Amino acid sequence: MITIVKIGGNVIDNPALLSDFLDKFAQIDGPKVLIHGGGKIATELSLRLGVEPQLVDGRRITNAETIDIVTMVYAGLVNKKMVAALQARGCNAIGLSGADANIICGVQRPKEPVDFGFVADLNENSVHDDHLKQLLYDGFTPVFSAIVHDGKGNLLNCNADTIASAIAVALSKKGDTKLVYCFEKKGVLKDINDDSSVISLIKKDEFGELVSTGVVAKGMLPKLQNSFDALAKGVGSVVITQAEDVLTASGAPLACGTTLSL
């Protein structure tokens, strides 16, 4: 069993929550991969540099200045801090962007209906997992940022949830996988202001209504789209839960947070 965990930017930005999450992530048995966001930190740096951040449906419009900023933040600062913190916990992490070892090669999103700039879409040919599997076999824990390349020398910004889904799908071709999305809330909430309103199970055919009624919005949209995509393409289980529950969720889906099903 390979466990693929994604950790979101609101947790990364909170030292106490992040430390607790990393303690627990380091304890997960067996081969594992960590994918991190960092959207909140990129937004803060962007504002400090005078570049107005703009997100549409949970995805960042990434112009030439912004791709430099997000590369510095995700592939640099956040990735290397995460690796050092895992090393301190006895977890032999190796920090990667999608460009490293050509593991994730994306294509720039079409300019219609929204021109997102240097933002990647991934397809079934995007993940080249031979070297990734070798790293896992050698006992490393790969830690990915949300930066990929296009094979023509350009770096592209990708939603970190999409990267987690694509890596889980690629690894599921040759073995069992589970995907755990960790963020700051207890799961997908029926009422965003009520932490006790966790929806414990969401089926794919319920997704449309959750969107049209506004129950899910913003960053939760790509998270759910990517979750169903992963299940449809062979990932064994997908759970969306709070970072504190990463060990529980990786051991027993349905025990906490929101479990997705087709």
Ligand X SMILES: Nc1ncnc2c1ncn2[C@@H]1O[C@H](COP(=O)(O)OP(=O)(O)O)[C@@H](O)[C@H]1O
Ligand Y SMILES: CC(=O)N[C@@H](CCC(=O)OP(=O)(O)O)C(=O)O
Task: For residue 166, give the nearest of 80, 95, 230, 105 by alpha carbon.
Answer: 230
Instruction: Indicate the burial class of 207 (C-beta count within 10 angstroms; 0-12, 13-18, 19 or more).
Output: middle
192 counts as binding ligand X under rule CB under 6 A: yes
8 counts as binding ligand X under rule CB under 6 A: yes
Listed in sequence order, the residues at least 6 apart from 50 whose beta carbon sits closer than 8 Å to its beta carbon are none
Binding residue for ligand Y (CB under 6 A) from 2, 3, 5, 8? 8
Check the annotation: does 157 bind a ligand.
yes
Binding residue for ligand X (CB under 6 A) from 39, 95, 98, 106? 39
109 counts as binding ligand Y under rule CB under 6 A: no
Q: Which is nearer to ligand X, 5 or 135 (CB)?
A: 5
CB of 219 to ligand X, least distance (A): 2
Secondary structure letter of residue 245 according to DSSP: G
56 counts as binding ligand X under rule CB under 6 A: no
Check the annotation: does 38 bind a ligand.
yes
CB of 92 to ligand Y, least distance (A): 24
Check the annotation: does 39 bind a ligand.
yes
**H/E run at residue 128:** none
Check the annotation: does 219 bind a ligand.
no
Q: β-strand 120-121 against 141-144: which pairing, if any? A: unpaired
Out of ligand X, ligand Y, none, which partner does residue 189 contact, by CB within 5 to 8 A per kind?
Answer: ligand X
Report the distance separating Cα 176 and Cα 45, nearest Å.
38
Listed in sequence order, the residues at least 6 apart from 13 whose beta carbon sits closer than 8 Å to its beta carbon are 40, 41
Q: Which is nearer to ligand X, 135 or 158 (CB)?
A: 158
219 counts as binding ligand X under rule CB under 6 A: yes
Out of ligand Y, ligand X, none, which partner does residue 70 contact, by CB within 5 to 8 A per kind?
Answer: ligand Y
CB of 248 to ligand Y, least distance (A): 21
Q: Which is nearer to ligand Y, 72 or 176 (CB)?
A: 72
Out of ligand Y, ligand X, none, which partner does residue 188 contact, by CB within 5 to 8 A per kind?
Answer: ligand X
CB 12 within 8 A of CB 38: yes
CB of 222 to ligand X, least distance (A): 7
Q: Where are any strands of DSSP class E within 58-210?
A: 59-60, 93-96, 107-108, 120-121, 141-144, 147-149, 155-157, 177-183, 201-203
Angle at which helices 15-27 and 79-87 cross, to 10°: 60
CB 38 within 8 A of CB 44: no
Q: Which is nearer to ligand Y, 78 or 169 (CB)?
A: 78
Q: Which is nearer to ligand X, 136 or 250 (CB)?
A: 250
Report the distance separating Cα 183 and Cα 70, nearest Å.
20
- Pick out the residues of the known binding site for substrate: 38-39, 60, 157
Q: Residue numbers of the site for ligand Y (CB under 6 A)?
A: 8-9, 37-39, 42, 59-60, 70, 119, 146, 157-160, 219
